[in-house]
Amino acid sequence: MKTQVGIIGGGPAGLLLSQILHINGIDSVILERQSRDYVLARIRAGVLEQGLTDMLRAAGVGERLDKEGMVHGGVNLTFDNRIERIDLEGLTEGKMVTVYGQTEVTRDLYDARDAADGKIVHEADDVRPYDVETEAPYLTYKKNGEALRIDCDFIAACDGFHGIGRQSFPAGVSTEYEKVYQFGWLGILSRTKPANHELIYGNHERGFVLCSMRSSTLSRYYVQVPTDERLEDWSDERFWEEVSQRLPSDVAAEIEQGPSIEKSIAPLRSYVTEPLSFGRLFLAGDAGHIVPPTGAKGLNLAASDVHYLSKGLIAQYRDGDESGLKTYSERALRRIWKAERFSWWMTMLMHSFPADGAFGHKVQQAELDYLTSSKAAMTAMAENYVGLPY
């Protein structure tokens, strides 16, 4: 099989890249290790920056997003038994975020690729890139035990943190930067109305709490827990009690409790590898970076990678201009590190750090008090939360 761009990974990054390339007359093939049902069963966050929603519309996959997405013009912070709203829309000249699940984004992209007869190979085992330093790279994989090959011009690895893309860089080429946090997020999904019409991020001495949603009848809640916490030790009753204790009393009183339909614990880390390209192999999304979910940047960073990479590929094929591909890593990393900084800052601001003692907690309270009383500080947060320009 031959194609122009071989894409490893059939998640939202790989699908979006394939869709954008198709619209611009560039052929691609996606190799995905899992089944489609498995990919669509992944539960992920869904706070979309305006840049991503604009990209989805331009890619022809914005119809259901515009019907079902929940547009938020603000976000709420709780601390010291009070709640303060950050006016995202007012502080950023009209920019907002949209709550729309990553699973739904993936589903919409699958539908678009199906409508265009896009080539997606599911359950592709043992995917390997070869000859990426030459002008004729190729991919090998196994399907139903048969060894197969795809010849291509370029390879995009959108295959996640544990994927083969980053592992295929030669030793000594990459530099890795990582921070591992000593806590995780215990999250539940419940068929209950949201605690608020906008997200609530809570700082409390017992730990962080987040009240989010998937729809007007489906809510997502998280609490900070130690990394060695066991899921089986958390009954629904214990979880709801902990959420209530970490919120202001008037906010907690309005929470509708109900049985969980999904429960999990996710560790938190910040990670970046540099560079994001080697020869004709390019990393995008979690293959090149991870952010803690506090700043809602994971999927959005993957989208900005796709923006830069697709622009470079389009310029290469349309005009013979290779400058966009040569500078892809540098341009993408500038935005990645700004998002890493914001996600780290939000994490350090909102979570409990017992080792810092009473002084550390008081400093957090002072920073939150300053943040919510200073227009300049709120504007800086709002600009980062809605998404910095590409």
Active site residues: 72, 201, 293, 297, 385
Element (H, E) at 307: helix 298-319
Element (H, E) at 329: helix 328-350
The answer to whether 32 touches 160, Cβ cutoff 8 Å, is no
* Residue ranges in 88-153 assigned as alpha helix (H): 88-91, 102-115
CA–CA separation, 207 and 289 (whole Å) = 26
Strand pairing report for 154-157 and 281-283: parallel
CA atoms within 13 A on the CB side of 11: 23
CA–CA separation, 73 and 94 (whole Å) = 8
The first and second tokens of residue 348, run together, are: 């350090």
CA–CA separation, 387 and 390 (whole Å) = 9
Nearest Cα neighbor of 117 from 19, 24, 37, 9 is: 19
Sign of CA dihedral 215, 219, 225, 231: negative
- Compute and round to an integer the Cα radius of gyration of the chain: 21
